[in-house]
Amino acid sequence: MADPKQFRTRVPIRFSDLDAYGHVNNAVFFTYLEVARVQLFAGHFTGSYSGEAVFLVRSASCTYLKPVPFRPDILIDVSISRLRGGSMDLAYELSDGAGLVYATAATTLVSVNPETGRPVRLPPWIHEITAPTA
């Protein structure tokens, strides 16, 4: 299995993602982040996830560097940049895959008990999955 601290995926760009100027609308970037995040969880966390916590976005930010023209897809690199008691930070880079970076972004996810809705510590399996390998 690939390193869950580093994840890469391609997200297709739909014509409906474009604004009046023919570029991907800034708000759509957050949808792309969501798609990459869901694929990260599905690819690396599904086998370990037992329902003891859900992960909700507490904050999200995006720094737009270049407009994204209509093209087949956008490459998104996601990395787990920090684990804390009840939250994790993800860092993103959105690019063409050939060196042109369109944006960088970050999200903070909080771990929440699905029954009570209250914050809880990150499950131990996240630390096990993301621990450095020797």
Architecture of domain 6-130: Roll (3.10)
* Digit-coded pLDDT (tens) for 19-66: 999 999 999 999 999 999 998 888 777 655 667 788 999 999 999 999
Mean pLDDT of 6-12: 92
CA 25 from centroid of its chain's CA atoms: 18
Q: What confidence score (pLDDT) does residue 1 get?
A: 40
pLDDT at position 125 is: 79
| Residue 69 DSSP one-character state | B
List the structure tokens of 5: 């601290």
The domain ranges of the chain are: 6-130
Q: Quick check: 56 and 108 in contact, CB under 8 A?
A: no
User: What is the structure's pLDDT at 21?
Assistant: 95
CA pseudo-torsion sign 39, 34, 112, 80: positive
Q: Which amino acid is at 42?
A: A
Residue 4 has pLDDT above 70, yes or no: no
**Residue pair 132/83 in contact by the 8 Å Cβ criterion:** no
pLDDT of residue 51: 72
Burial 115-126 (b: 16+ CB within 10 A, else e): eeeeebebbeeb
